[in-house]
Structure 1
Amino acid sequence: MSDLTGRTALVTGASRGIGQAIAARLAARGAVVIVHFGTDEDGAKATVGEIERAGGTAFAVGAELGGDDDVETLFAGVEAGLAGRPLDILVNNAAAAPAGPLGTTTRKEFDHLFAVNVRAPYFIIQRALPLLRDGGRIITISSVATRMANSAQTSFAMTKGAVETMSMTLANELGARGITVNAVAPGATRTAANGALFEAPGLAGLIAGSTALGRLGEAGDVADIVVFLASDAARWVTGQVIDASGGLFLGPRT
């Protein structure tokens, strides 16, 4: 029997990329997975279809994050699908992409980044807590952008620093319920959705050469870490940021 059998999991931004891989792996371990999507309904249906063809159980819920009613819209669908069952695992994966360097980021872009990347996961957690079973798991996807200086991602890195702090403080607060709260920080991760970004001449080789394990990340690399944190094996891990970059930019390589 799989170690997540009988548990339920909500994965935001699960219509593609890392979120899709997380949803598929949680389902493969036995969890019933709620596949959230913002605008990519076809992608969410594809994720659900992949899970069902593999023998798992999932359903999709749509809610575009960043608006005034985003969380209530999301949880109306979550609660309808759960039909009275509790929630065991919450993965905050959905995020807006970097808006650009300081000189070009507009107030609108900045506010959107914080609305999707910080406000949404915070209030999703707040709304999920009455549904979340004692001993549950909260996992938020951060980024290695918080530990390196990249002038094109200043505002994005700020949002990810916020959710790392949120994870640490909530781990301390929610420990009394046995709920663990952690963050996972991917590096350069190639997915079907962003593969074209790494086709720029020399870019993939440059990143691989700056990574201790010598290659670009794949969505499954990150998803496997999330599944570990969602499992009983990680019951004694909380308040942590787990680097999932393969050792990107750890220092000079000889």
Structure 2
Amino acid sequence: MTYERFAYVYDFLMQDVPYERWLAFFERHAKSLPGKKVLDVACGTGEFTWRLKETGWDVTGVDLSEDMLMVAQQKAAERGKKIPWFQQDMRMLEGLGTFDAVTIFCDSLNYLLKEEEVKDTFRHVYDHLQAGGLFLFDVHSLYKMEHIFKDGTFTSVDEEVSYIWNCFDGDAEGMVEHELTFFAFDQASGQYERFDELHYQRTYAPEQYADWLEQAGFEIVRLAADFTDNPPQQDSQRIFFVARKG
């Protein structure tokens, strides 16, 4: 999957995303860490990354998309934040050193469509953590895939960017196809440009993620839901994990 033009409308699409709630969740669980080094994996355009930096964390951003990282680098420079950025696949992280914490937030892990890809990611994250370091991530719940996304349509109309977002059942259990059509205003031509994106996401039961984490050597510290520290319920939409490297 590549983002290309999507990178340049990503922040518009995510303008109502509660980054501060991810930050609050992270800081509640990371406050006891002895160090401040954080690796933010699948950082996208760096919105969460620079929030970590702004609150005193020594953060490094990693993403698969060169376009996303270009936007992230530009924004960080405009805000006066010097952040190292690396283009890498989360399934094959290498050579980045070790960190006190690794994050994969904003359901980015759901873009991995095969079980082995998730397990590979967990193993590579483990290798980039110091002993006792924390791995924090969130995923869509099976409930959200089935009852919120499946057969759902979401729209937004704005002078700068408008979109139609349709969701369909995927080819495997826990998978959803996101079909997005954008109409972005081009200042040079004074016209709207249409482009289409097709994205796939897949999720699994919390017990399955927990099993894969333990296989990779992690200890589960917290299993929670919807930005709280409370255990997931049947209708929880976003599942959070905090795991520690032994």
TM-score range normalised by the length of the shorter chain: 0.3 to 0.5
More helix by share: 1
Query: Under a length normalisation based on structure 2, what TM-score does the superposition of the two structures give?
Result: 0.47
More strand by share: 2
